[in-house]
């Protein structure tokens, strides 16, 4: 047991939709929790990544059924698409892309579970195509892409945003409020960021929840005299950003947008923003992937 605490190990996971995947799902859960625990250097076995994989699997099956894609392949692709994320307890270390490691895990575990070679190959291709702009997308990889992004949409997306901020040690701070810029900007473009018809209509519906929630949340903070914010629109290339800006600095002077620029990152074009006070040194910096338009 090496002192590791088992947390709800028996029933803590969402069931699979394709029952033949149940044994494979169980093995994957054990593997993912172990890798994530090693990465976090914690004796607790976290469910952050496994939870994401399961939610994406639920969306993938739903999209697949509506889009005429094999739901078993879709569920398998979703369950394994990030399986290599914390390989060996590290994150983005070495030069092997995490998708390659995800596929290795898939091949190893699916092989033991008796999944056919053809299925494993199709699923591997979909995982490789997921964020590779150089190759075309198959219907399976489009379903996977949309399912992965639906986990960041709507109230679920907001819940995940707060969890992620908390895991990084951030509470309800001015920085965290300012970074709602990213959520609001992504919500604005929900209709252009999804490949499938089903994914797109779900995303658009959910984006309204995101927009409503953020506006209500900012209203409450203003009414209760906690943070006073305003939303400004700024264009960078062909994207209009929804900047959530604090109205004033703690020194009393106004906060302004000071710098905005883009840089080519490894996975995306990054938008960089700097807001700040002209009187004191107070700065808020945000960097995020420019929303990727697929339609
Ligand atoms: Fe993912
Ligand atoms: Zn100031």
The pLDDT > 70 percentage for the chain reads: 91
How far apart are the CA of 164 and the centre of ligand 2, in A?
Answer: 28
How far apart are the CA of 276 and the centre of ligand 2, in A?
Answer: 8
Q: What is the DSSP letter of 69?
A: -
Tell me the average pLDDT across 54-78: 97
Residue 48: pLDDT band (50, 70, 90) is: confident
For residue 4, pLDDT over 60 is answered with no
* CA–CA dist 217, 211 (Å, integer): 10
Q: What is the value of pTM for the model shown?
A: 0.90
* CA–CA dist 88, 90 (Å, integer): 6
Q: What is the DSSP letter of 94?
A: S
Tell me the average pLDDT across 56-76: 97
Do the beta carbons of residue 289 and residue 265 sit within 8 Å?
yes
Tens of pLDDT along 249-293?
Answer: 999 999 999 999 999 987 789 999 999 999 999 999 999 999 999
Tens of pLDDT along 97-152?
Answer: 788 889 999 999 998 888 999 999 999 999 999 878 777 889 999 999 999 999 99
The pLDDT > 90 percentage for the chain reads: 72
Q: Select from 79, 119, 131 the least CA-distant residue to 102.
A: 79
Nearest ligand to the CA atom of 52: 1
Tell me the average pLDDT across 214-243: 96
What average pLDDT does the chain have?
Answer: 90
Nearest ligand to the CA atom of 279: 2
Tens of pLDDT along 25-44?
Answer: 999 998 998 888 777 776 66
Phi, psi dihedrals of residue 98, rounded to the nearest 5°: -65, -25
Residue 95: pLDDT band (50, 70, 90) is: low
How far apart are the CA of 148 and the centre of ligand 1, in A?
Answer: 5
Residues β-bridged to residue 240: 235
Nearest ligand to the CA atom of 50: 1
Nearest ligand to the CA atom of 174: 2
Q: What domains lie within the chain, and their CATH numbers?
A: 19-148 (1.10.3210.10), 155-289 (no CATH)
Do the beta carbons of residue 29 and residue 57 sit within 8 Å?
no
Low-confidence winner among 47-56, 138-147, 154-163, 177-186 (lowest mean pLDDT): 47-56
């Amino acid at each position: 047991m090496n002192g590791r605490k088992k947390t709800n190990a028996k029933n803590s996971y969402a069931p699979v939709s394709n029952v033949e995947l149940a044994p494979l799902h169980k093995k994957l859960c054990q593997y993912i929790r172990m890798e994530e625990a090693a990465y976090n250097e914690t004796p607790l076995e976290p469910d952050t990544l496994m939870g994401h994989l399961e939610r994406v699997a639920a969306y993938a099956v739903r999209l697949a059924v509506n889009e005429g894609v094999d739901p078993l392949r879709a569920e398998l692709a979703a369950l394994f698409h990030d399986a290599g994320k914390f390989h060996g307890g590290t994150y983005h270390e070495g030069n092997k892309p995490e998708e390659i490691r995800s596929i290795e895990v898939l091949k190893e575990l699916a092989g033991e579970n008796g999944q056919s070679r053809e299925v494993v190959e199709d699923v591997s291709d979909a995982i490789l195509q997921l964020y590779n702009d150089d190759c075309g997308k198959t219907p399976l990889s489009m379903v996977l892409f949309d399912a992965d992004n639906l986990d960041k949409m709507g109230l679920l997306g907001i819940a995940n945003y707060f969890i992620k901020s908390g895991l990084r040690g951030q509470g309800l701070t001015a920085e965290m409020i300012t970074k709602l810029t990213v959520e609001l900007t992504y919500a604005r473009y929900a209709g252009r960021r999804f490949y499938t018809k089903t994914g797109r209509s779900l995303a658009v519906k959910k984006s309204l929840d995101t927009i409503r929630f953020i506006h209500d949340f900012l209203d409450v903070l203003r009414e209760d005299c906690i943070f006073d914010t305003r939303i400004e629109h700024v264009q960078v290339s062909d994207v209009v950003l929804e900047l959530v800006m604090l109205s004033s600095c703690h020194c009393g002077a106004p906060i302004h947008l000071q710098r905005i620029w883009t840089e080519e990152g490894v996975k995306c074009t990054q938008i960089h923003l700097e807001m700040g006070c002209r009187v004191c040194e107070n700065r808020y910096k945000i960097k995020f992937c420019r929303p990727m338009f697929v339609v």
